[in-house]
Chains A and B, each alone.
Chain A
Amino acid sequence: MRVSFWSAAVAGAFASLFALSAAADSIRIGLISEITGPNAEAGSYTLNGARLAVDAINKKGGILGKQIELVIEDNQSTNPGTVLAFSKLGGNTDIPAIIGPIRSTQIQAASPTIQKAGIPVMIGGTDPSLTHVNNPWVFRCRPNDTFSSRVIADFGVSKLKLKKWAIVHSTDAFGSGGQKALTDALKTLGIEPVLIQGYTNNSQDFTPVVLAIKKSGADVIGTYMTNSQDLGIFAKQLRQLGVTATWVGSPSIVTDTAMKLAGDALHGTYGIADFNPDANAEAKTFATAYRAKYNLEPDVYSSWAYDALNVVATAMNTAKSSKPDDVRKAILGLKNWKGVEGNYTFDENGDGLRGYNIVKNDGGKVRFVEHIDITK
């Protein structure tokens, strides 16, 4: 392991030397992600996905005949780190587009900086408000939480016929946004949740949350949890304290890490996933390539970055330009563009996707149940 670290460092040093001489022949795309800090594991998957996309695009001729070069900036899993990274890359005139972070709270913090930079930024955060703050440069390559919550509510209420809902959510921007959206979605189906329970990230103990669920008598739990460790601890304690309610979770419940950590405590739970390797032909191709290259199971952290880079490349190649305005128009002009997470049609807010896959944790294996698209 140590060897790969050093060889990566040396390779990195050479690569940057090489980049100086090769700058004219390449197109530089920024990538801001959590390379260090508490979310570094997710960041490493995002990097995997992005690199896989770069390889694939470059093999097909790159963007406008130039090879893509990723300019990676670490946000240290923090909001200030994200703002700093955006002002650094955004001030760089030879970077025509940036793949931003997946955390809503970080994007929220960096939104003014993104607006100032004035170049297309692809984001993975699912807090609905991120694309509704009159920032024309933010494009979301995942379905936002109004869709995730409507899919969770629709599946739980219409398919599973469960009516007594407890909502458990992280109190960060992602979790609170999801909670509000799920509460609203349930309301339109005529249901008032019996419990809405928040918690802060990196909680060491979920006993009070579990006891509150027990007391509420809920028969279904909808969750918006950010960290896999939290999810793992919650899952274990939920089953230990004898709660048997059905669980339909936001995408973090079916990430590789969460499933490894929680083990059988997550068996039988449902999750929604923007990405599932069996959902469509593009996803199948992506998954095969990902497994071959990294010997890991692909998940949402890698798939969204893969799509984001492909959207940028497609838009630039369609526009035959890397000027921000042209690229923006080209992204908004994409109709039913087939990505691994589904078919992208960007609306005027910059939201590309409107659907989710429902999946089930079947004894530790993620089984594709169905794809639900929300069409107003």
Chain B
Amino acid sequence: MDALANNLQVLFQGLALGSIYALVALGFVLIIRATNVVNFAQGDFAMLGAYMMVAFLVGVGFSYWLSFVLALLGMGVFGLIFNYGVYYPLRHRGFLPVIISTLGASIFLQNTVLAIFGAQPKRLDNVIAGGIQIGSVFLDSQYLVILAVTMVMVAFQFFFFEHTMLGKKLQATSQDKDMARLLGIPVALMIAITFVYSSALGGLAGVLVGPVLFVSIGMGSIIALKAFAATIIGGFGDVKGAIVGGLFIGVIESFAAFYISVPYKDAYAFLMLFLVLVFRPQGFFGERVSEKA
């Protein structure tokens, strides 16, 4: 019984952290699909979102939900600025300059936040205090919220991309920009929308995980590394893959830490990445691509 409880506890923690990886990985994937570029500032979107939450909730003293909405809106606006400041000027220059531009943005963001908020990590309280105790298993309320929100976001994402005109336009843009342009889809606008959405999504991940990991300058980089591994494991640029990859990494590292060794916890994600690259280079859901246009 005790062993079962322990396993359930470990599974729960793994799924919850995996959800956060999944949310950030989703942001990665959307931008990869729209622009063919990995956004290395994706983790910092989470960090920035969490700090916006702290600013509104603790700094200004707004209510939780008002702060929440403002933080996400703020992140949306930030995504637009990011699009026009970091991506747009370099859009015709191939992927390398853009990647370096996102790396630069990441460093800039971390140090700007450091200058504004100072170096001391901030505390955010759970949305709902406490948690649920079942036998010797404790389900932290914040982890439950994270799981629930991730599920809602996955459903929303599916509905949005498959069943709305805007979603379909976004998909068309990501599949073939020239064709999309010929069909009269405003490609630049679609990419801008992708950045706005990815930024808000990253911000959401940050706001959700803030109470668990605390809000610190480095929080984004830690999550982004795992999320990036999740992106590749799931299939580079695949939406389903990002979600499954995120959950997979969360659960694997949680169990491996419990059963094998805690100090090597961070290594398991990358061991998995290595194994997947060797045995299934296209990832779980990726298509085998023989040539890239």
Contacts and interface: CB of A to CB of B under 8 A. Distances in A.
B270 to A, nearest CB: 13
Interface stretch (B32-40, B96-104, B192-200, B254-262): B254-262
Nearest to B226: A204
Contact of B136 (A1, A199, A242): A242
B230 to A, nearest CB: 14
B181 interface: no
Nearest to A171: B263
Contact of A199 (B218, B258, B263): B263
Interface stretch (B75-83, B111-119, B159-167, B239-247): B111-119
A36 B119 CA distance: 8
Contact-residue size bin, chain A (C-beta under 8 Å from the other chain): 35 or more
Contacts of A198: 262-263
Nearest to B264: A200
Interface string A318-348: 0000000000000000000000000000000
Contact-residue size bin, chain B (C-beta under 8 Å from the other chain): 35 or more
A199 B17 CA distance: 17
A199 B263 CA distance: 4
A228 B121 contact: yes
Contacts of B56: none
**Most chain B C-beta atoms within 10 Å of own C-beta, residue among A207, A229, A241, A263:** A207
B120 A41 contact: yes
Given A202-B222, A205-B254, A38 B217 contact: yes
Given A44-B118, A204-B222, A261 B214 contact: yes
B123 interface: yes
A233 B116 contact: no
B265 interface: yes
A45 to B, nearest CB: 9
B263 A207 contact: no
A2 B13 contact: no
Given A171-B263, A204-B213, A41 B9 contact: no
B186 interface: no
B95 interface: no
Nearest to B21: A204
Contacts of A2: 115-116
A229 B214 contact: yes
Interface string A203-225: 11101110110010000000000
A257 B120 CA distance: 7
Contacts of A71: none
A211 B111 contact: no
A197 B13 CA distance: 19
A120 interface: no
B20 to A, nearest CB: 8
B6 interface: yes
A262 to B, nearest CB: 9
B10 interface: yes
In the complex, the 10 A-B pairs of residues with the closest C-beta atoms, listed nearest first? A41-B119, A40-B119, A208-B258, A38-B218, A208-B257, A198-B263, A5-B115, A41-B120, A207-B13, A171-B263
7 contacts: A5-B116, A36-B114, A203-B262, A203-B265, A208-B265, A211-B258, A240-B140
